[in-house]
Amino acid sequence: MIDSQLRTSGVNAPAVIRRMSQVSREDHVPAASKGVAYVDRAIRLENGAWLPAPLVQGKMLEEAAPTGKETAIVVDAGSGYLAELLRPMVASLTVISPGEAVGKGTKGKGANLLLIDGAVEEIPAALAKRLADGARIVTGMVSNGVTRIAVGRKDSGGVSLMPVFDIGIPQLHEFDKPKGWSF
Model confidence over 88-121: pLDDT tens digits? 999 999 999 999 999 988 999 999 999 999 999 9
List, edge to edge, every strand of the sheet that includes 131-143. 92-96, 71-75, 111-120, 131-143, 146-155, 158-166
Q: Does the structure show a pLDDT above 80 at 73?
A: yes
Tell me the longest C-alpha to C-alpha distance in the chain.
51
More confidently predicted of 178 and 37: 37
Q: Does the structure show a pLDDT above 80 at 77?
A: yes
What is the predicted pLDDT for the residue at 3? 87
Could you tell me if 57 and 20 are in contact, meaning their C-beta atoms sit under 8 angstroms apart?
Answer: yes
Give percent of the chain with pLDDT exceeding 70.
99
What is the predicted pLDDT for the residue at 4? 85
- Give CA–CA dist 171/118, Å, rounded: 6
Residue-averaged pLDDT of the chain: 95
Question: Do β-strands 92-96 and 71-75 pair in parallel, antiparallel, or remain unpaired?
Answer: parallel
Is the whole-model pTM more than 0.75? yes
What is the predicted pLDDT for the residue at 178? 84
- Give CA–CA dist 44/29, Å, rounded: 8
Query: What are the CB-based long-range contacts (under 8 Å, 24+) for 69-72?
Result: 70/111, 70/112, 70/113, 71/108, 71/110, 71/111, 71/112, 71/113, 71/132, 72/108, 72/111, 72/112, 72/113, 72/114, 72/115
What is the predicted pLDDT for the residue at 98? 97
Average pLDDT score over residue span 29-34: 96
Average pLDDT score over residue span 122-149: 96
Instruction: Report residue 58's pLDDT band, with 50, 70 and 90 as the boundaries.
Output: very high
What is the predicted pLDDT for the residue at 181? 75
CATH number of 2-175: 3.40.50.150
Q: What phi and psi values does residue 62 have, to the nearest 5 degrees?
A: -65, -40
CA dist 46 to 43, 72, 118, Å?
10, 26, 16
Instruction: Report residue 179's pLDDT band, with 50, 70 and 90 as the boundaries.
Output: confident
Q: Does the structure show a pLDDT above 90 at 24?
A: yes
What is the predicted pLDDT for the residue at 99? 95
